Amino acid sequence: MRSAALIVLGGLVSVGGCGGRQSQANREMQNFACKDRAINYTVTHHMGGAELGVQMDCVDQGPRIKRWRVDDKGTRQEDARGMTPSEFDDVWSQIAGVGWENLKDCTNGSEGKNDPLYKWAIKDDQNTNAFQCQSATVPFPYNSLVDPLDMAAQRSGKQLGDDEPTELKKYDKKDKQK
């Protein structure tokens, strides 16, 4: 009797151990309708670099997100990663909630000649739109397009480039010599 109980318990442990992987596989096996969805935003003249950008699309390689940074010397760094269909759809639902189809060039930005210039290109199987905004900080509702993309792009956990300016690196060497 005791050995039968151990066999049953052993079977339960083995089934429970695979539950996490199986549920992940089930989540990733979702039906996915791309609908030619793509969003891209770039920022030029930003303090983070000469150009920053994030692109989320599903047309060529399935759901994915790509981000890039071009420093002041013209060096381009980028990374990309695949997204699960549910992650893509979650981010897209936030984008769709903004009403991007109806947005025009912003009129509520700071529009200073030295301010960063944000440009968007968004499309799906029914609509296409492109617009821009020059502003020190992205005003509403345009920030509602940037924030979910930035959050999704940062999930890779890596940082693009070195966050410390070259002119400050000389101080690091002095500190290490002491």
- Write the CATH number for 56: 3.30.1560.10
Q: Does 4 fall in a domain?
A: no
**What does each of the 178 residues of the chain score in pLDDT, given as a tens digit?**
554 444 444 444 444 445 566 555 555 566 889 999 999 999 998 887 889 999 999 998 899 999 999 988 889 999 999 999 999 999 999 999 999 999 999 999 888 888 999 999 999 999 999 999 999 999 999 999 999 999 999 986 666 655 566 666 677 665 555 5
Domain residues for the domain of 80 are 38-158
Q: Does 70 fall in a domain?
A: yes
Q: Does 177 fall in a domain?
A: no
Q: Does 140 fall in a domain?
A: yes
Question: How many structural domains does the chain have?
Answer: 1
Would the pTM count as exceeding 0.75?
A: no
Q: List the one residue out of 33, 32, 40 whose CA is nearest residue 128.
A: 40
Q: Does 87 fall in a domain?
A: yes
Q: Does 8 fall in a domain?
A: no
Q: Does 44 fall in a domain?
A: yes
Q: Does 28 fall in a domain?
A: no
